Structure 1
Amino acid sequence: MLRFGPAAGPVVVVALPLFEEANRTRAFAVTILRALAERGIAGALPDLPGQGESLVPTHETDLVTLRAAFAAAVEALKNPSPIGRGKEARSAGRVRATHDRVFALAIRSGTLLDTHAAVTARYHLSPMSGADLRRELIRARQASSREAGDTFDPASLDIASEPVELAGNLIAPAFLAVLAAAIPSTEAIRTVRLETEAKPADVKLPGSPLWRRAEPDNDPAFAQAVADDIAQWIAACAA
């Protein structure tokens, strides 16, 4: 995982959105974590199975695996363990960071991944349900099929036995089936959305929906606004 900021105190762990939106929002997430580090708050961005530098193909991951991996990343930041083995590692002072409080920052469908993590609280940015994600993936596949002069029947997903290509990703049919009922956690959350979003939120911020861009992009001003809000939220959680 990428690490930012101090080795102690609170730490914010990012759950990127699933599939292609992870690529579109990664630079944005890194900018948020760097801004938090400047405020004395640590940050971490783990590559979960099927994301980033992970060697696991997208079609071999599933929601259970992703949730367990995020929970494991959270635990690794709580519990110090020496890098290496035995007394040599400890005497050299090579000990991983340990944090007294861990906060999740989940973006879009990343809010489906922090449900099993033992975090102090959850910061959900433009959260969405698994059913919403599934519909968006299907719409993207239908649009690409029309452009290619083909047709795509969403009902075919219910009988598929092999990975299906949706929005440029091969996805296991079982994963798609589970997504239909997946929802974000409702425990200890702060919900934040863009000003342009109609759904309710604890606060709405000005910014760009980077997850809808055709290519990966960034919005530094939006990232700074999110970092400011997270810093104030963490301070309020400690009060």
Structure 2
Amino acid sequence: MQELNNAAPSMPRLNERAPEFEAPTTHGIRKLSDYEGKWLVLFSHPADFTPVCTTEFVAFSRAHEQFQALNCELLGLSIDSTFSHIAWERNIKEKFGEEIRFPIIADLSMQVARAYGMIQPGASDTSAVRATFIIDPKGVLRAMVYYPMSNGRSIPEFLRLVMALQTSDEHGVATPEGWQPGDKVIVPPPATAAQAAAREAEGYECTDWYFCKKAV
């Protein structure tokens, strides 16, 4: 049993420090500490020169400036070489008219992929699944999403999620399903009976004592 536990893939945990890394990329060596003070979307893909991954990289590239406007950087990863990444980037520019301006980690050793739980033996022992990690300016892992190798991600959802996290941090609130900037947010529910009794008089839009919204 101990051997099985040792062989299990490492999995990062939400609201804890994201695993440190130092790895070669298409923009030179990158470390987690390079992104201190910024949000980071770290995402893995199974392989270069594959059709689903290409659609995702085109979409991430087209949204790159929108992420940067949120003080958020993009960092890709796959278990391919830097030379493969560069050739793929050039192919995307030639065939799809999109220039990839963010770095891509070349994780031939799989050290970063294993630290972040990107290797899922049920899917593949040699390729990273479609995993996405949102890391805050303090290096804390705030969200992670895994997709199967057969299905592409929705990049607008990650933009939305970064904005939702930033709104929650700034205002101390939660966001409802499908929240978009400008929508009302959810006020934390009362923690005591006295607070619950006073809630209706606090000026929020309340459906019940535990479910109140406000504009931000």
Q: TM-score range by the shorter chain?
A: 0.3 to 0.5
TM-score w.r.t. the length of structure 2 is 0.33
TM-score w.r.t. the length of structure 1 is 0.31
Structure label with greater radius of gyration? 2
Higher relative helix content: 1
